[in-house]
Structure 1
Amino acid sequence: MSALLRRTKKKPADRVVTLVGKPGCHLCEEARTVVSAVCEETGASWVEKDITRDEALYKEYWEQIPVVLIDDEQHTFWRVDPARLRTALRT
């Protein structure tokens, strides 16, 4: 296989996890705890976005919050499995 065709695997430190949620959401609080811990462990960075302050996110994800994105692609919603997130960050 050509080196150009081979996908390079990103290191966790090169990944960005986005937690999309809203204030007062108990599932969002649980997700924040998991995302924070897994990102600290793997070296990935993470940001949190408030769905009530972003119309595009609201339209896209309102019925699914909390939503976790990895490098702007949806990884999961509602409940965050730490082992699954950890694995996704390493692939």
Structure 2
Amino acid sequence: MAARVTLYSRPDCHLCEVAEEIVAAVCAELGESYEVVLIDDDPELQRRFTDEVPVTFVDGRQHDFWRVDADRLRAALRGG
């Protein structure tokens, strides 16, 4: 099963760490999966997201960047 949430991140990024905690908690609560993609491993992702990490995608569409709002993420995963 493919992850519904993708978090584009960087190592040693405080905002990324906070975002992953929120994503992990919301996904666990709703029984959803997520994946973390480190942008520094891919030059194209680095070019695309370098100034916006963390960036979250839900169902393949960009959802947020810099900060993750748990209520907004919950609503997106519930289809609302």
Paired residue type of 2:8: V
CA distance in 1, matches of 2:56, 2:77: 12
Structure 1 residues 43-84: Cα deviation after superposition (integer angstroms, max 9, x where no partner): 111000001001221121111000001122100000100000
Residues 11 and 38 of structure 2 are in contact (CA less than 8 Å); yes or no, is this contact kept in structure 1?
yes
One of 56, 74, 78 as aligned partner of 1:86: 74
List gaps (5 residues or longer) in structure 2.
none
Give aligned-pair identity as a percent: 46
Aligned length: 79
SS at match of 1:85: helix
Q: Which runs of 5+ in 1 are unaligned?
A: 1-12
Aligned equivalents of 2:2, 2:55: Cα separation in 1: 20
TM-score w.r.t. the length of structure 1 is 0.81
Across the aligned residues of Structure 1 and Structure 2, the Cα RMSD in angstroms comes to: 1.5
Instruction: Work out the CA distance in 1 between the residues paired with 2:2 and 2:74.
Output: 14
- Residue by residue, what CA displacement relative to the aligned partner does 1:14-38 show, whole Å, maximum 9, x if unpaired? 8610010100000000000000000
What is the TM-score when the length of structure 2 is the normalising length?
0.92
Which one has the largest radius of gyration?
1
Q: What's the counterpart of residue 25 of structure 2?
A: 37
Structure 1 stretches of 4+ with a deviation exceeding 4 A read none
